[in-house]
Structure 1
Amino acid sequence: MDMLFQEIGPGALALCLMVGLLAGVVKGMVGFAMPMVMISGMGLVVGPEWALAGLILPTVATNVWQAFRQGWRGAWAAIRRFQLFLSVAFVTLILSAQLVAVLPDWLMQALVGGPILAFALSQLLGYPLRLGTPPPRRVELSVALLAGGVGGISGVWGPPTVAYLTAMETPKKEQIQLQGVIYGLGSVALLGAHLGSGVLRAQTLPFSVMLVPVALIGMAIGFRVQDRIDQSAFRKATLVVLFIAGLSLLGQAVAGLV
């Protein structure tokens, strides 16, 4: 603990805990966005690498809860349905995680923020992307490669996946569980990848552990809200969260260039 205070400082740590709580609330409401909120919010306080390390364990814990909240049968059905997507995304995630120490921070942020901002804005302006169910195989492969590649570099693989499920017009409860399963397996892969990359190490592990309880508390609050909103409100909330996160990340990328 003393080492953590020396590395970060009590004021910065308190701000990060607040960001973790907010990220849990948002994830409980819309089923995703915890990594986006944490890396964009905490990145302003402790930098992208510490933010990436901090989000790893809270992401694993909250996704396990989300995946099994509706029961294990639905979770297993989701794994079977999206086995190609999951396989391709995880391999790409593990490979791209090794680029964290090479790529500049602004590029990591731009790779996530730009495409997601464009997707959310087009949806909110009334130009929806509809893929149908099941979507074309080439689309599934492309989204899996994008989600895995961006996820390994930045810890944020949710937006491409959410965009994909939203374009398939997936019902709210099914989408929430699908996201939990996909992100849960992805977060385990991310944990293993960054144990190997050195992002999650003796200095950063206590920071990630401290963020787990506040993230779970926030998620419990968010679940209560989610249970009370209908499909239309859920879709709008999802798109608004995507828009805000994309705008924040793209703004940070631009700031890193000047």
Structure 2
Amino acid sequence: MEYLMAGLTPLAFVAALLITFFAGFVKGAIGFAMPMIMISAFSSFLPPETALAGLILPTLISNLTQAFRHGPGPVWATTITYRRMLISMVIFIVISAQFVRIIPQDLFLLLLGLPITIFAALQLAGVGLALRLEHRSRAEWMLGIISGLYGGLSGVWGPPVLVYLLSIKADKLETVRVQGVVFLIGAVVLLVAHLHSGVLTASTTAFSAVLVLPAMLGQSLGVAVQDRLDQSKFRRWTQILLVLTGLNLMRRAVGL
């Protein structure tokens, strides 16, 4: 049992389970924010590498189930529809990851968090900021590039995608599915990267695997809530979580 707990005290281990359950619930209800919640909470009582390792497998599995909830057909259709964003995102994740030790990460977190917070807050206030549909292809390329640049440098590539989906007024099911596909790609990249970085040791991998169960239980309950949310409520809660995501990114940028 101590091996599965990655050297944590029983209290810390139980806290990790509860935090993961809550993060899974939010993920199921809204479609994102699991890594943000887990890394923010874990960092307050876990070593940095253990905190990061702990979220890897729950994030991977939850995104897999989210993306494929309605079968492989819709996933393939989503991949084709948003191929420009996905292609540019993956390319620029690979490119920007090479500069992670050169460009200050705090600066990029601030530059990502500030516009996201402003955008979502304006939407909550009823200010329309939708992209013009005739520019959708160009927007996909640009948002994919931005997502990739930030993703490679900071490990955060979801918010720009969500900003785009809010701008084009994608419906609830499409929003959740697209997020699942994009985040799944990111989770696979994260897993492969840290198998080589040393973050995922035998012990931390076992710990991460244990956290999959509460994540899945929380996600299942969250999905039940999501199914009961109408389009307007879903959009509003997504905007609220996006504001919190942006604020959290700025908090990380200033070291709070």
Into which bin does the TM-score normalised by the smaller protein fall?
Answer: 0.7 to 0.9
After superposition, residues 160-199 of structure 1 pair within 5 angstroms as 160-199=160-199
| One-letter amino acid of the counterpart of residue 163, structure 1 | V
3-state SS of the aligned residue for 2:26? Answer: helix
Whole-angstrom distance in 1 between the partners of 2:244 and 2:6: 32
Say if 1:97 and 1:197, in contact at 8 Å, map to a contact too.
no
Q: How well do the aligned residues superpose, as a CA RMSD in angstroms?
A: 2.6
Matched, 1:114 2:119: no
In the TM superposition, what is the alpha-carbon distance from 1:219 to its structure 2 partner? 0.4
* CA displacement 1:84-116 (0-9 Å, x = unmatched): 211221232244446667777755753553332
Aligned in 2, Cα 1:50/1:114: closer, same or farther, shift over 3 Å? farther
How many angstroms apart in 1 are the aligned matches of 2:51 and 2:97? 15
1:131-142 pair list within 5 angstroms = 131-133=131-133, 135-142=135-142
Q: SS at the partner of 1:227?
A: helix
**Higher mean displacement: 24-33 or 136-145:** 136-145
Identical-residue share of aligned pairs (%): 43
Q: TM-score, normalised by structure 2?
A: 0.87
Are the counterparts in 2 of residues 90 and 189 from structure 1 also a CA contact under 8 Å? Answer: no
Which has the higher mean CA deviation after the structures are superposed, 73-82 or 130-139?
130-139
Tell me: CA distance 1:121–1:192, structure 2 relative to 1, closer, same or farther (3 Å). same
Q: For the Cα contact (< 8 Å) 1:33–1:159, is it kept in 2?
A: no
Name the amino acid aligned to 2:113.
G
Cα shift readout 1:41-62 (whole Å, capped 9, x = no counterpart): 2222225543332222111101
AA in 1 matched with 2:23: A
Question: Which amino acid is the alignment partner of residue 118 of structure 2?
Answer: A
- The equivalent residue for 2:45 is 45
Deviates more, 1:234-243 or 1:140-149: 140-149
Residues 97/44 of structure 1: CA separation in 2 closer, same or farther (3 Å cut) = farther
- The residue type equivalent to 1:185 in the other structure is I
Residues 131 and 74 (structure 1 numbering): CA distance in 2 closer, same or farther, change over 3 Å?
A: same
Cα shift readout 1:127-172 (whole Å, capped 9, x = no counterpart)? 2321244644332222112222333344332211111111110011
Q: Does residue 14 in structure 1 map to residue 14 in structure 2?
A: yes
- C-alpha distance in 2, partners of 1:112/1:54? 24
Q: How does 1:1-258 map to 2 (within 5 A)?
A: 2=2, 5=5, 7-46=7-46, 48-97=48-97, 106=106, 109-110=109-110, 112-133=112-133, 135-256=135-256
Q: Distance in 2 between matches of 1:5 and 1:101?
A: 31
Q: Is the contact between residue 94 and residue 152 of structure 1 (CA under 8 Å) also seen in structure 2?
A: yes
Which is worse superposed, 146-155 or 238-247? 146-155
Displacement of 1:212: 1.0
Of residues 66-75 and 224-233 in structure 1, the stretch that sits farther from structure 2 once superposed is 66-75
Distance in 1 of aligned mates of 2:44 and 2:106: 12
**87-96 vs 225-234, which moves further:** 87-96
Change in Cα spacing, 1:101 to 1:116, as seen in structure 2 (3 Å) is: same
**Take 1:235 and 1:22, find their aligned partners in 2: how far apart are those partners?**
20
* 1:49–1:161 distance in 2 versus 1, CA, 3 Å: farther
Distance of 2:134 and 2:185 partners within structure 1: 21
Corresponding residue SS for 2:120: helix
Structure 2 residues not aligned, in runs of 5+? none
Q: CA separation of 1:51/1:155 partners in 2, compared to 1, >3 Å: closer, same or farther?
A: farther
- 1:157-207 CA-to-partner distances (Å, cap 9, x unmatched) read 221111111111001112111211222222212222232333333453223
Quick check: 10-19 or 45-54, which moved more?
A: 45-54
